[in-house]
Structure 1
């Protein structure tokens, strides 16, 4: 066996919601080791979602999880060298990678929005993802379209 199974990383629950998934998301937001600032951004975004949600009966955390689920890609394309050319081979993604990719998509798309603060950007991107709109959902659909277009090469999986 060439590849060794990697140990799954254990995340401690966050102080407010007691959810390890929140800690994982905050770790992706964090820059230069400033975790308190990242937690503040996330918690302020959750408060903003509470204000935005109006008649929705779900909590802000449930809206965030639903938005993450809507942004999760199920397949991706990887380059594979065949003969003298590179082909894009669609490959299913592991469950752990799905979550990571969804988090990175949400954060990167929130970062390019035109809101005032990062908490507002993140809140509106999460809300758009919850409603299956916004840039993160478009990027996920583009990933799926590329995999669909290259379905003919799916028998070249690694």
Structure 2
């Protein structure tokens, strides 16, 4: 009788172990498939990002030589403040800090967004002499 009970117990333990092992194998297979799917999805998303980045890069404006010179003069030039009638706040200075703040309307007319760290402003100017920012004519300006 004791021998039969031991065999039954051993059989139950063995059966339980096999069931647990099969469950673990199923979990591992499912995780492996999920990981594979995640890798595939990640690759698809990376491909989409790459395509979008190329589209964004193609939207980057191209400038004429004259416009490029104007950009180089405007961005970071402290003389921009000489074109602005409103005084900056708290002793600051007006500045244009990025090419993104300059939009060409025509070859020599541009919209410039500027700020002093507290206020922002915008102006439309005509670059009479591209190398001399002080000679530029302000056609319209506002501070907000």
User: Fold conserved (TM > 0.5)?
Assistant: no
TM-score (norm 2): 0.27
TM-score (norm 1): 0.25
Greater RCO structure (CA 8 Å; 6+ sep): 1
Computing the radius of gyration over CA atoms, which structure comes out larger, 1 or 2?
2
Which structure has greater strand proportion?
Answer: 2
